[in-house]
Each structure stands twice: as C-alpha cells, then as structure tokens.
A and B are shown apart, each in its own frame.
Chain A
Amino acid sequence: MKNLFSKKNLIWLGLLIVFFFLVQFLIDIRVITPYYRTIVYWVGIFIILGVSLNIIIGITGQLSLGHAGFMSIGAYSAAIVMQNMPDMTGLLLGMLIGGLVSILVSFVVAIPTLRLKGDYLAIATLGVGEIIRIVILNLEITNGASGISNIKNLISWPLLFVFVVLAVVLSANFKNSAIGRACISIKEDEIASEAMGIHTTKYKVIAFIFGAVLASVAGSLYATTYYVVKPETFGIATSINILIIVVFGGMGSLTGSVIATGFIGIINMFLQSFAEVRLITYALVLIVVMIFRPQGLLGSKEFGLDKILGFKPPFSKKLRKEKST
C-alpha cells in the first residue's frame, strides 16, 4: 500500500484531478463548446485505441493492422445491448460483452497469426480486420450495411475521463512489469528472448489480447458518442489512423501516443473549416514530422515526472557522478 501511494503516484493523481476539474470547468462556462467537446471525445477514444495498439506494435513489436476490427466488436456489442437497455448499465454490459468477445476472437486469431513475422503478420491481421467487418456486414443482428443508429448518447466528460485514465494506467502498469519486460525483449530480439527463458508465444498472445480488449472498450465508447455504428467506419482506414497515432507519438511510448492523439485532434479541428485541403495538409504535417522526428515525437521514451522532479532510480545518480569523474 505504501508503494501505491508513493510521492510520484500522488503527484500524478493530483495532476489528473486538477486537469479533470479544469476541463469540466471550461465545459461548464462554455469555453469548450459542444463542438469542441466532440473533439475532446474523439481524442479520448483515440487515446485508448492508440495506447492499446502501442502495446501490440510498439512494445511487443507485432505489426497489427486489424485494430479497427476489435474496435467494431466493442462498438456493436454496446449498440446491440443498448437497443434494449438504453442506460449506463446497458453501456457497461455491452462493454463487458464486447470485451469477452474480443478476448475470444483475438485469442483464436493470435494463435495462428502470431507465428508470422513482419509483413506477413501485417497482412494476416489486415485480413482479420476485414473478416470481422464482413461478418458484421452480413449478420442480421448487426443490421448489415445500414448499421445500428439511434444509440443512446451517454458520453460525458467524467465517463470518458475515467475510461481513458484507466486504459492508460493499466497499459503503463502492463509495460512496467515483468510481463511488459518480456514483451519488450520480444521486440528487441525474439531469439535471445526465447533463450532467456521467455515463452515468446504466450507473451505475444497476452499483449495481443490486452490490446484487443482495450480497443473494444474504446469501440463501445465510440458507439455511445456518435449514436451510429456502421461497418464502413471500422475499415482499414481507421486501423491506419490508429497506426499513425502510434508511429507519430513514438513506438513503445504510451505517453507519446497520448500526446500524439491530442496533437492530431487539434490539427483536425483547425482543418475542419478547410474541408478541401484537410487531407492534404494532414498528410503534409505527418510527412514533416516524420522527416524531422523519424522516431516519433517521444521515440521510445516516456514523458514522466522522474526527470522533471528529479526522481532517480536509487543507484544511478551516484554512479553517474563517479563515472564522470
């Protein structure tokens, strides 16, 4: 318990509370208008998606291009459940069902596809995303191509905030544990990892499922935010958008994904009024960033309090001094 309430965690908690009430205040006094609020929601949902894909690609090193597929599982689960139960219980139940279905689907998918490497894995996961989309397109319960509309809108800043924080904290805990270290070692060198006694297949599957479940939760939030879910929303374009967040923020940097999503959200907002040149400008910004920061905004580093507040791992400071003298 002492560790859970360490100085660092308490400072983070304080910052989050301040941020939460600041945004809530801005919403209340209408500085954040309902239009800006949609952008906040978009950013929140895509933070969850970006962070979850980063677990698979940036941390475990498995290139997956089917992330929107898992997002659609959560979206449709929430949409279907909420047709009969248009309240918070319905949303949470839909989220839960979506999560369970995602676990099942990602497990079945992971076992054969994670044997593949690099480009082959990318193509296989791309196929998985498409299969999920086409299944949804042809099912009766999902209402085919016209999708499900009139989903009750339950999204609010507090609800979004809770889920985004939960997703990021769980992902950070995942990364900073023995499981996360195992996953990182797989990305670094799979052969060496296996020689160090790490059951590489197991950890790849765990990371894949973990990412899929978070994507599904983001999908449920998406459904209730935009009232409508259609199969075409969850195509390859959305998967690529999530991938852009990961690459843009830096592979393996969770905080990088968070910052990148915010950045892209703001770019999108400014470009909204120039609909004709929106995609061109968007692409240009990305190209410029990739030229000057090919490793992404943060590379593989995390934005943390350690450097700012001078927290150091117990031994390093002394040793660094000794070394430099």
Chain B
Amino acid sequence: MSYLTVEHLTKNFGGLSAVSNVSISVNEGELVGLIGPNGAGKTTLFNVLTGVYKPTQGKVILNKDGKSIELSKLPPYKITHQGVARTFQNIRLFKDLTVLDNVKIAMNQQAKYGLFGALTRLGKFYASEADIEQRAHEFLKKVNLDDLAYDLAKNLPYGKQRQLEIARAMATGAKLLFLDEPAAGMNPQETHALTEFIAKIRKEMDLTIVLIEHDMSLVMNICERIFVLDYGKLIASGTADEVKNNRKVIEAYLGEEE
C-alpha cells in the first residue's frame, strides 16, 4: 500500500467541477510535483487533501504505521495531528509574532498541561514550556533560522518567510508536507536556495513532500514524479522527462496544434 492514496476524488462547487475523479498515490519518502495551468484545480485538490474542503466524492487515505486513516473524514486540525501539514500559496505566517513563536504554536500539541496548569503554573507547566522553547530553538537551528528567532515574521525577507512557513509546517511533527507554490514570487537565486533547502530537509527528516509549482526549474530538478492536472482532471503522470514529452501536457500548456 502506498503512503497516501487518493481514490476517485471529486470536488464540485455548484455546477463547476474543480477536481474530477482524480486518483493518485504517493509512496513514503517520495517528492512529488503537482503541476498544471492556472485554474486546473491544484490548490482545490490541496484544500481537499488537508481537510479545508470536504470532497464531493472519493476518499483520501493515509497509511501510517500499518493503519489506514481516512483523512477526508477529519477536520483540518486532526489531519495535522496525523502528521500531515501544509503551506499556503499566499504566505500565511503569524505575522506579528516572532519566528520562535510561530514555531512554538506549531508545537502546541506537545504542551503537557491543561487550562488549570496554565492558569496556576503548577505541575508540569514550567518544565513543559522550557522543553518546548528548547525544541523550538533546536528546530530553528536545523532549518538555519535560529539567528532570526526573535524577529517578527513580517520583518523577514520574502525568501526567509517562505522558508519559515515550510519550517513551521514541519514543526507540527509532520511527515507528509503539502507545499503550495513554495517558489512563487522568487527570483532565480532564491528559487535555487529553496530547492536546496527542500532537498536538505527532506533527507534529514525523512519527509514525504507533495508540491505545487509553476517554476519548472524547481519541479524538473527535484521532483521524482509529476502529476499534471488540467480542468480538474489528471491528464498525465510520470517522471519529469515523460511528462515533458507528453502530448496532452504540451496541449494543456501551449494549446493544440492546428
């Protein structure tokens, strides 16, 4: 069984079918790209996978530790608890908080005290807070952001904000990451740095990554397999070279030959 299985997934908005009958599967440790022209339904597919939308039809199944979990029945926060996290096309950091707090919020599940402990500061409060603080710093060191730990997220350069958003998603303890256009709005150097960053974190933390991207240099460089969506339908899948030469893909991007 593959790690993530999407079975005959359909999402309709009224009469419009944004995603129709899409079936894909992702193996553990893979880095998979999802491409397609604008409006192809890529982000909608992500929103269904992460629980923001409920699918009209079909299922999303995660195989974790020999158990299969039906993600499409869970609300977004519970999906995150299953080790699945995402980033957003338009950055959604907690802008007025520090980099450290952004990561701490992602680690909130690790707090070992409840409302009573928080209000009275008895029991495990101080130990748990110190533990989270330390882990957050360790984590930021791993992703090379610790020197910015006390800066507000909104004051970071654009590339660093993107990087922080990925880091924050990982800090939830996720093993499966959905990255929605991580290189959007970046210049070639920034894209290059991001490509290396993704490759590095993936290796170090055994992540499975699915990413949406328009920047073909990034997609063709690091994605092992690519799925192509057009008008909500899966029109091709395979390695970079296979997809590049696929007639349907060329038609979707460039139009049909006369």
- Given that A182-B105, A189-B92 are contacting pairs, would A196 and B80 also be in contact in the complex, using a CB cutoff of 8 Å? yes
A184 touches B85 (CB 8 A): no
Query: Would you call A173 and B108 a contact (CB within 8 A)?
Result: no
B105 touches A193 (CB 8 A): yes
A4 at the interface (CB under 8 A from B): yes
For B77, B88, B93, B168, which residue has the most chain A Cβ atoms within 10 angstroms?
B77
Are B111 and A178 touching (Cβ within 8 A)? yes
Interfacial chain A residues near B50, Cβ < 8 Å: 195
Instruction: Decide if B147 touches A173 in the complex (CB within 8 Å).
Output: no
**Across the interface, do B118 and A174 meet the contact criterion of CB distance under 8 Å?**
yes
| Residues of B contacting A177 in the complex (Cβ-Cβ under 8 angstroms) | 111, 113, 117-119, 125, 129
Q: Say yes or no for A84: interface residue by CB 8 A criterion.
A: no
- A198 near B94: Cβ-Cβ < 8 Å: no
Q: Tell me whether B149 and A319 are in contact (CB under 8 A).
A: yes
Q: CB of B70 within 8 A of chain A?
A: no
Of B77, B129, B132, the residue contacting A197 (CB under 8 A) is: B77
Q: Which residues of B contact A273 (CB under 8 A)?
A: none
CB within 8 Å of A: which B45-61 residues: 50, 52
What A residues does B76 contact at CB under 8 A? 194-195
Residues from 155 to 183 in A contacting B, C-beta threshold 8 Å: 170, 173-174, 177-182
A115 within 8 A of B: no
Q: How far is the CA of A188 from the CA of B86 in the complex (A)?
A: 17
B105, B106, B150: the one within 8 Å of A320 (CB): B150
> Are the C-beta atoms of A181 and B77 separated by less than 8 Å?
no
In the complex, whether B43 has a CB less than 8 A from a CB of chain A is: no
When distances are taken between beta carbons in the complex, the residues of chain B under 8 Å from A178 are: 104, 108, 111, 113, 118, 128-129, 132
> Does A322 sit at the interface, judged by CB under 8 A?
yes
Residue among A198, A300, A322, A323 with most chain B CB within 10 A: A198
Q: Are B119 and A170 in contact (CB under 8 A)?
A: yes
B172 at the interface (CB under 8 A from A): yes
Write the nearest CB–CB distance from B51 to chain A, whole angstroms: 8
Whether B150 lies near A319 (C-beta < 8 A) is yes
In the complex the two chains form, what is the Cα distance from A313 to B100 in whole Å? Answer: 11
Q: Is the CB–CB distance between A197 and B137 below 8 Å? A: no
Question: Which of B85, B95, B119, B149 sits near A196, CB closer than 8 Å?
Answer: B85
**Is B94 in contact with A322, judged by CB distance below 8 angstroms?**
no
Q: Is the CB of A196 within 8 A of B137?
A: no
23 CB-based A-B contacts, threshold 8 Å: A177-B113, A177-B119, A177-B129, A178-B104, A178-B111, A178-B129, A181-B104, A184-B94, A191-B88, A194-B76, A194-B77, A195-B50, A195-B76, A195-B77, A195-B92, A196-B80, A196-B85, A196-B108, A197-B109, A197-B172, A198-B77, A315-B137, A322-B147
